[in-house]
């Protein structure tokens, strides 16, 4: 999705790629042959996946930590876990309250994709205003050619969309929402050049999110320094989506962490080493978990090969209860099959 591209050749045989394939979502062949049967997900062995939630709960009860896991407090109200052999990596399970999770899920869908912030849809349709609201109201996107040589796209009610056969391309807003893969806040990242373009118009990262990121970044910051949130990338995952192994290497100072917040359905996160040949460590990411990557950890390949959207494995019951009001039914429907990740960076 972003980051360093995969090298050609033997990438399919690397340790990282094998781990991605191990945890990826697959369906039983038999269920795919019949359109009448619900697709059955192939079981996946997660016995080797680190569960920091269980580790944290056991630690708070006075239990011992697993081999290779250490804890630092750093003034945090919750234990912060590190991994031996991966300096600069920090995992804070349940770092976000339920209210914070709901707030930033809502902002990620309603506010963060708004122009002038850019999304993956910009390249085809230009800036799209109020995508979530248009999807909720069952609108369609049509090309407006009234400007002659400068056609634009706009959302209109279904009744206004010309009948089939008329020369007019239209796309349901709901489908475009499901195809939303990323949006950018603060300084805008130029995907074609793989750098930050300070000349692009943008909205500043909301102050409340800045303050939250500064607080969360504390365990990974050099002593006496404060994190400066200057850019953020919001990733949107649906069932079956993955984030391939990559490096986040476009910021100037790698001693400053990336602050990564997980929202929505549970996922598996892979933390590799400095090459794709290094065996990655797999761990669960749940809604409210926060990962920090600074220093040497910034040189480690990482990715998300799997999200869990089944009712028994997604682990989003508290979020479902919070969004149970009738006004939130559309957001709740999105939440039940999605994961959102907000990763915040200090660029300079």
Binding residue numbers? 246, 248, 302
Q: Residue ranges for the binding site for Fe cation?
A: 246, 248, 302
In the block, residue with structure tokens 């340790």: 15
- How far apart CA 207 and CA 64 sit, in angstroms, is 39
Tokens encoding 184: 């950018």
- How far apart CA 291 and CA 54 sit, in angstroms, is 16
In the block, residue with structure tokens 């080797």: 48
- How far apart CA 89 and CA 81 sit, in angstroms, is 8
Q: How far is CA 245 from CA 173, 216, 286, in A?
A: 30, 24, 19
- How far apart CA 60 and CA 57 sit, in angstroms, is 5
Dihedral angle of Cα 174, 238, 339, 307, to the nearest 10 degrees? 160
23-34: b (≥16 Cβ within 10 Å) or e: bebeeeeeeeee
In the chain, how many H helices and how many E strands?
11, 17
C-alpha closest to that of 314 among 269, 241, 265? 265
Helix axes 207-217, 98-110, angle to 10 degrees: 130
- How far apart CA 304 and CA 91 sit, in angstroms, is 15
Q: How far is CA 123 from CA 127, 192, 255, 301, in A?
A: 9, 10, 33, 27
**Which residues does 54 contact at the CB level (< 8 Å), separation at least 6?**
none
SS3 144: strand
């Amino acid at each position: 999705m972003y980051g360093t591209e995969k090298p050609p050749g033997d990438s399919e045989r690397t340790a990282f790629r094998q781990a991605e394939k191990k945890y990826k979502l697959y369906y039983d062949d038999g269920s795919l042959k019949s359109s009448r049967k619900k697709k059955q997900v192939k079981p996946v062995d997660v016995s080797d996946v680190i569960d920091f939630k269980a580790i944290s709960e056991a630690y708070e009860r006075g239990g011992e930590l697993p081999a290779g896991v250490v804890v630092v407090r750093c003034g945090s109200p919750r234990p912060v876990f590190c991994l031996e052999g991966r300096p600069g990596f920090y995992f804070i399970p349940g770092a976000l309250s339920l209210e914070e999770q709901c707030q930033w899920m809502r902002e990620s869908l309603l506010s963060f994709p708004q122009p002038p912030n850019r999304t993956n849809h910009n390249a085809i349709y230009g800036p799209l205003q109020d995508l979530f609201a248009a999807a909720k109201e069952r609108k369609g996107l049509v090309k407006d050619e009234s400007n002659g040589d400068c056609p634009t796209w706009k959302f209109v009610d279904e009744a206004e969309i010309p009948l089939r056969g008329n020369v007019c391309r239209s796309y349901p807003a709901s489908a475009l929402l499901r195809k939303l893969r990323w949006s950018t806040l603060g300084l805008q990242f130029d995907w074609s050049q793989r750098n930050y373009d300070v000349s692009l118009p943008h909205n500043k990262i909301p102050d409340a999110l800045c303050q939250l990121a500064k607080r969360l970044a504390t365990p990974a910051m050099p002593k006496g320094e404060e994190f400066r949130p200057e850019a953020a990338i919001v990733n949107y995952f649906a069932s079956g989506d993955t984030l391939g192994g990559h490096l986040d290497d476009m910021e100037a100072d790698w001693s400053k962490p990336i602050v990564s917040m997980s929202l929505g359905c549970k996922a598996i996160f892979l933390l590799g080493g400095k090459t794709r040949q290094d065996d990655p460590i797999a761990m669960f990411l749940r809604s409210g978990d926060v990962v920090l990557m600074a220093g040497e950890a910034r040189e480690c390949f990482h990715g998300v090969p799997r999200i869990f959207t089944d009712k028994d494995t997604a682990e989003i019951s508290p979020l479902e209860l919070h969004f149970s009001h009738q006004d939130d039914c559309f957001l709740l429907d999105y939440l039940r099959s999605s994961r959102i990740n907000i990763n915040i960076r200090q660029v300079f």
